Chains A and B, each alone.
Chain A
Amino acid sequence: GAGVSQTPSNKVTEKGKYVELRCDPISGHTALYWYRQSLGQGPEFLIYFQGTGAADDSGLPNDRFFAVRPEGSVSTLKIQRTERGDSAVYLCASSRGQGGTGELFFGEGSRLTVL
């Protein structure tokens, strides 16, 4: 597609449930990022992929969070045993892989609400 696509756009779930959020980056972009944006805050870095491998996962808050990118394109962010504090907008971005000097293209985000 023309831009970064994220699904679902909205997800409401109950505390303790498992959630998957999907990101389809711009074709040909080798770098993919996940961010989380809570109300009134800026985007907070979670994890960064270069190709299929996670180059930096230092932002993942705990072991309930995991992300994969098996074929170097689509990525899935997985959250186990969701908690109310996980409620946020999860943003995905991709870039051409020029490192941080390249422009990041963001999707519209997946809004997660944990009841």
Chain B
Amino acid sequence: AQSVTQLDSQVPVFEEAPVELRCNYSSSVSVYLFWYVQYPNQGLQLLLKYLSGSTLVESINGFEAEFNKSQTSFHLRKPSVHISDTAEYFCAVISTQGGSEKLVFGKGTKLTVNP
């Protein structure tokens, strides 16, 4: 079965600093990868996804993630974070086991941006 590992449960950073949230997935023949974000008191929402094509994908608010097949990674990065980026970030992979498709999530990384 597919699985996702998020190596850091909490990441504190200062405003305007760069950040990287790490994600590794179990290997599979084909893989679709996602980052979801949960802002305080809100539901999960899609941040970005990799389905095929360019290995570098971007979100509208400056985050990017790179699919690295050899390292089975999909790390999330932002060169300069804002206070408003404080949230919990979940990496997810599609599992196609058993003929159905479902998202399998990592445990999440809580990003706290301090002034």
Tell me, rounded to whole Å, the shortest Cβ–Cβ distance linking B26 to chain A: 15
Which B residue's beta carbon lies closest to that of A54?
B100
Q: Is the CB of B102 within 8 A of A48?
A: yes
Check A62 for interface membership: any CB of B closer than 8 A. Answer: no
CA distance A44 to B107 in the complex (A): 9
Docked pose: A4 CA to B42 CA in angstroms: 12
Number of A residues, CB within 8 Å of B: 27
Which one of B11-19, B45-53, B61-69, B76-84 is at the interface? B45-53
Interchain nearest-CB distance for B89 vs A (Å): 10
Q: Does A33 have its Cβ within 8 Å of any Cβ on chain B? A: yes
Q: Does residue A91 face the partner (Cβ distance < 8 Å to B)? A: yes
A106 to B34, CA, bound (A): 14
Check: B56 CB closer than 8 A to any chain A CB. no
Chain B residues with Cβ below 8 Å from A43 are 44, 90, 103, 105
> Which residues of B approach A to under 8 Å, CB–CB?
4, 6, 9, 32, 36, 41-46, 49, 51, 90, 92, 94-96, 98-108
